[in-house]
Structure 1
C-alpha cells in the first residue's frame, strides 16, 4: 500500500528526537511491502544537520517551509492508501492536519500519529478549539508513541474512533555495541535536547548527582545546554549525530534517561534513548515512571531512580562488572521483545485490516 507521511524529519535528528522512531518503524513497514513517501519541511536548520542520506526504502520529499509548498505536497495525498500526519512538524501543523482530511481520497485511511501524546492531550484539555480535537471526527485512527491505557482512554474520550500505541523499539542494524570512544569517556552521560518541560528534571536527575559526586565525570549531549550553568565536573558535548549514538552509549560507565514532564506523569512512554542505550548494551539509569517493567526489568536490566539522590547512589555503587551485566541483560531483553521488526509485524497487520475494512464499506 502507498503511505503518505507528513512529519518533522526523516533525514535529521537535529531538534527532532522522533527521527530514529520514524526510521525504525517506517523501514519495517517498507520491508513489508509498503511504498512510503515522507514529506518534511526545510525548517529549523535540520537539513544542514542531516544524519542520513535519503534512504532506499522511502521516497524523501523536502519542501520549502511555505504555505504554497505545503499545499503542493498535500495534493499528493490523494494518491495514497494511507495518509499520516505526525504531530510536532513545527511549521504549518494545523494546515497539514486539516489538509490530510481535505485531500485524502475517500477510501484512504487517515491517521494522526502522536509522538508526544501526553503533551498533546494536555493542550487539548486546555483548548476546546485545538486542531486535533477538531480533526478527530474525520480521522480513522490515532497512533501514539506510547502512553498505554491512560492515553488510549483519553483519546477515546475526545472522540477518537480508535487509538493504538506503537511503542519505541530497537533497530539492531543502527544501534548496537561498538568499541568505546574516548570522546565520550565519563561515569554518567545524558543525551537530550534542552526543552522547557524537561529542564527541571534534568537539573534533578543529572546536575544534582553531578554536584553530589564531585570526583566523578559527567557528560551531557544535545542542543541548547551551552548556556546552562553546570558543575565543573560536567562536560557539554553539543549535538550528537545518530552515527555517534552507539559510542556515546557504549563508552560511559552508565547512561541516563530523563523523561519529559508529561511522559513521566502518564507513564508507559519509553523514549527512543531507552532502546538505543539497551541496544548498545549500555547500563541504563532511568527516572521512575509507571510501566517501566513492561520494557526492562528494574535492578536487572535497568536501574530506576526516584530522584537525583537515587542516581548518585546507583552511580556510587556501580562497578564495571555490574554495569556490564545490566547492559548485557538489557540487550538480550530488547532483542527478544522490543525490535522495530516486531512492531512492524503488528502495525502492518493493523493497517492492512483497517484499509480492507474501509474498502469493503465503500
Structure 2
C-alpha cells in the first residue's frame, strides 16, 4: 500500500525521541512492499542535527514550517492508501490532522498514531475543543507508542473505533554491543532531554543517587540540562546522537531508564531507550512502572527501583560480573520477543485487516 506518514522527524533525533521508533517500524513495513512517504517540518533545528541521510525504505519530504507549506503537503494525502498523522509533529498539529483527513480518500485507511498517549489523553480531557475530538469519527484506527489497557480504554471512551498499542522495540542492525569508548566511562549513565514532566523524576532517581554515591561517576546525556546545576560527580554530555547510543549504553557499568511522569503513571510504556540499552547488552536499571514484566524480568533481566535510594543501592551492590549477566539476559529476551521485525509484522497484519474490512484496497504482499 502507499503510505503517507506525517510525523516529527525521521531524519533527526534532536528533540525528537520518536525518531528511532519511526525508523524501526517503517524500515520493516517497507519489507512488506509498502511504499512510504514521510513528511516532516523543518523546525526546531532538527534538519541541522540530522542523524541519518534519507533512508532507502522511505521517501522523505521536508517542508517549511509555514501554514502554506503544511497545507501543501497535507493535500498529498489524497494519493495515499494509508494516511498516518502522528502526534507531536510540533507545528500546526491540529491543522495538519484536519488537513490530511479532509484530503484523504474515503476508502483510505486513516490512522492517528500517538507517540505520547498519556499526554494526549490528558489534553483531550481538559480541552473539549481538542482537534482529536472532531477527528475521531473519521479515523479508522488509533495506534499508540504504548500505554496498554488504560490507554485502550481511554481512547475507546473518546470514541475510537479501535485502539492498538504498538510498543517500542529493538532493531538489532542498529543497536548492538560495541567496544567501549572512554568518554562514556561511568558507573551510571542516563540519556534524556530535559522536559517539564521528566525533570522532577530525574532529580528523584538520578541526581539523588549521585548525591548518595559521591565517589561514583555519573553521566547525563540529552539537551536542555546546560543551565541546570548538577552534583560535581555528574558530567553532562549534551545531545548524544543516535550513532553514539551503542557506545553510550555499552560502556558504563549500568544505564538508567526514567519514564516521564505521565507515562510512569499509566504504565505499559517502555521507552525506546529500554530496547536500545538491552540490544547493546547494557545492565539496565529502570524506575518502577506497571507492565515492566511484559518486557523484561525484574532482578534477572532488569533492575527495578522505586526512588533514588534504591537506584543507589542497586549500583552500590553491582559488580561487573552481575552487570554483564543482567545485560546478557536482557539482550536475549528483547532479541527473541521484542524486535521491530515483530512490530512491523503486527502493523502489516493490522493494515491488511483494515483493507479487508473496508473492502476497497488490495492488501500488501506478506514477507515470506
TM above 0.5:
yes
Identify the TM-score tier after normalising by the shorter chain.
over 0.9
Confirm or deny that 1:254 pairs with 2:283. Answer: no
Query: After superposition, what is the alpha-carbon deviation per residue over 1:203-227, rounded to whole angstroms, capped at 9, x for unaligned?
Result: 0000000000000000000000011
Shift of 1:100: 1.4
Q: Is the 2:114–2:144 contact (alpha carbons within 8 Å) kept by the matching residues of 1?
A: yes
The residue number in structure 1 matching 2:24 is 24
The residue number in structure 2 matching 1:158 is 158
Confirm or deny that 1:212 pairs with 2:242. Answer: no
Q: Is the 1:167–1:269 contact (alpha carbons within 8 Å) kept by the matching residues of 2?
A: yes
The residue number in structure 1 matching 2:341 is 341
Query: After superposition, what is the alpha-carbon deviation per residue over 1:164-220, rounded to whole angstroms, capped at 9, x for unaligned?
Result: 000000000000000000010000000000000000000000000000000000000
The residue number in structure 2 matching 1:196 is 196
The residue number in structure 2 matching 1:46 is 46
Q: What is the count of residue pairs matched by the alignment?
A: 361
Q: Is the 1:81–1:355 contact (alpha carbons within 8 Å) kept by the matching residues of 2?
A: no
The residue number in structure 1 matching 2:275 is 275
Partners of 1:198 and 1:133 lie apart in 2 by 27
Partners of 1:20 and 1:266 lie apart in 2 by 22
Q: Is the 2:225–2:236 contact (alpha carbons within 8 Å) kept by the matching residues of 1?
A: yes
Structure 1, unmatched stretches of 5+, are: none
Shift of 1:72: 1.0
Partners of 1:268 and 1:239 lie apart in 2 by 27
Q: Is the 1:286–1:302 contact (alpha carbons within 8 Å) kept by the matching residues of 2?
A: yes
SS at match of 2:196: coil
Partners of 2:356 and 2:42 lie apart in 1 by 35
The residue number in structure 1 matching 2:237 is 237
TM-score normalized by the length of structure 1: 0.99
Shift of 1:359: 2.6
SS at match of 1:190: strand
The residue number in structure 2 matching 1:80 is 80
Greater CA drift, 42-51 or 99-108: 99-108
Query: After superposition, what is the alpha-carbon deviation per residue over 1:247-274, rounded to whole angstroms, capped at 9, x for unaligned?
Result: 0000000000000011000000000000
Q: Is the 1:300–1:329 contact (alpha carbons within 8 Å) kept by the matching residues of 2?
A: yes
Q: Which ranges of 4 or more aligned residues in structure 1 deviate by more than 2 Å?
A: none
- The root-mean-square deviation of aligned C-alpha atoms, in Å, is 0.8
The residue number in structure 2 matching 1:33 is 33
1:282-293 equivalence runs, <5 A: 282-293=282-293
TM-score normalized by the length of structure 2: 0.97
SS at match of 2:209: helix
SS at match of 1:112: strand
SS at match of 1:226: coil
Shift of 1:360: 4.8
Partners of 2:29 and 2:286 lie apart in 1 by 30
The residue number in structure 2 matching 1:148 is 148
The residue number in structure 1 matching 2:223 is 223
SS at match of 2:256: strand
SS at match of 2:255: strand
The residue number in structure 2 matching 1:63 is 63
Partners of 1:166 and 1:338 lie apart in 2 by 11
Structure 2, unmatched stretches of 5+, are: 362-368
Shift of 1:357: 1.6
Partners of 1:226 and 1:217 lie apart in 2 by 18
